[in-house]
Amino acid sequence: SDTSVQNSAVIGVRITVANQSSAWHLQEPHSLKVRFVVDGSPSSEIAVSVQVPQLFDFELSEQDEAIGIGAGGSNTFGFQLLNTGNGDDSFNIELSDNIPEGWEVTPMNSVITIAKGDSRSQLFTAYAPADFDSGSKVITVTVTSEDGVTTDSFDVEIMRSNIDLSVDQGDIVTLSDNIANRAGKLVIPIKNSGFLGTDDVVVSAKIVGGRDLGAQTITANPESTSNAEFALEAGDASGTVRFEVRIEVVGEDSSFIEDPVDEFDFSIEYFIDEESDDSPWFTLAIFVLGALVIYGGIKISRRTAGSARF
């Protein structure tokens, strides 16, 4: 036999995988098969296991920064958790141990497993004691990855649910109609900055030295603005008009008012729309122009008739 040829050799194989941040980490390694072919026919094969190291990372979103709760009541808060690592991750979610006496928040601790690229929502329920009538409480939520190192947290402020109404008088002027001698609307925007809504907001308005515009009952939803609209006649909109407005919450919800809105007054200046066909000055100008045209036509006709006699 020919002993000049070695009967064995070491073959190096380089395995290139995707970027570690995008390659999947699996509990069971990736399995690769290396097949040796001689003269077109498989001769032997070996199996190679490739393990992609796991990267741990996540993102928090849609965190509730503040919620309102009535005395003896409850409310929920939560967040969205996205697994941005390269493998399944079991996240530990826990609340700080600064829960005030008499309060209860559930669950205090939980573990959720999320696949790479997936997201889950986590909700908590907070229960307030019956004597919760003022101030606020802060609860810290902490999320930790399976590695025990990657972590993030956020605070949630719990405040007493109330109705907190206010009115920006500048917005009244902006939203209301202001064309003179034309029917329009008086718009009163009422902002509720509180966490409690009500269907019993009574808004009344009147013209100082003039007629009463009546009263309306509107709904003020939490953390939103609602409008009360009053119809104005053309005779109401002339020059500078002063209005008086009164806002009050009636019924059982009146006990949840943070600070009552004091009765207030304001002025709106109404402007003549000179470009409108409805303007009295425009109408007068058309009338005068028409009269001049008719007068001129009559004079020309008489002059022509007089010349014809001679």
Pair (297, 278) in one structural domain:
yes
In a domain, 18, yes or no: no
CA–CA dist 112, 133 (Å, integer):
35
Pair (138, 200) in one structural domain:
no
In a domain, 45, yes or no: no
Domain total in the chain: 3
Pair (125, 220) in one structural domain:
no
Closest to 189 in 3D by CA, of 163, 158, 213, 168: 168
Residue corresponding to tokens 């928040």: 105
In a domain, 153, yes or no: yes
In a domain, 232, yes or no: yes
Report residues of the chain scoring pLDDT below 50.
310
CA–CA dist 258, 278 (Å, integer):
46
Closest to 153 in 3D by CA, of 211, 113, 222, 93: 93
Q: Which residues contact 290 (CB under 8 A, 6 or more apart)?
A: none
CA–CA dist 189, 65 (Å, integer):
26
Burial class (CB in 10 A: 0-12, 13-18, 19+), 82: middle
Q: What is the pLDDT of residue 70?
A: 82
Q: What is the pLDDT of residue 7?
A: 67
Rg, Å, the chain Cα set: 39
Contact 230, 185 (CB under 8 A): yes
The pTM assigned to this predicted structure is 0.58
Q: How far is CA 249 from the centre of its chain?
A: 26
Pair (85, 172) in one structural domain:
no
Pair (130, 64) in one structural domain:
yes
Sign (positive/negative) of CA torsion 127, 131, 137, 139?
Answer: negative
Q: What is the pLDDT of residue 101?
A: 84
Q: What is the pLDDT of residue 180?
A: 92
Q: What amino acid is encoded at 139 in this protein? A: I
Q: What is the pLDDT of residue 258?
A: 76
